[in-house]
Amino acid sequence: MWGQLALTVLQQSHLCPLPLVQQPVYWQFDHALHLYPVPAALLLADSSPQAQHSHGGCMVFNPGSFSEGCFAAYVPVQQLVEMSALPRDGDAGDTQPDTDAGDQPDVSRDQELGGQRAALD
């Protein structure tokens, strides 16, 4: 479905490809929504899942919902889109801090300082 939207926007060369009955047009500023000439990349951000589509030398992509940790990186020289997402809670192992960790000395830090920390205490 998202690929059809991208294709429609590119084929009609307009960011709002709706009939006048559904979307009134303020003609004085309509030229700002035209896509002529066709750009090298077009970002259509939405809360739908990440997607990308290429047509006629234009890379159209949706980075996904930023509030869900999704984003995209675009490399213009290579016309490469890299879809990315931040790990969610629980995806990267146990992210909860250990409540007893503050009671015990930091052994690795003591070893790094060569036992100097014990002398300062």
9 is a domain residue: yes
DSSP state of 27: T
Whole-number Å distance between alpha carbons of 78 and 59: 11
pLDDT tens figures, 12-51: 999 998 898 999 899 999 999 999 999 999 999 988 999 9
Answering whether pTM is above 0.85, one says: no
* Nearest to 59, CA basis, from 78, 31, 79, 83: 79
The pairing of strands 80-85 and 51-55 is: unpaired
Cβ proximity of 10 and 55 under 8 Å? yes
Cβ proximity of 82 and 72 under 8 Å? yes
- For 20, the domain range is 1-85
57 is a domain residue: yes
72 is a domain residue: yes
33 is a domain residue: yes
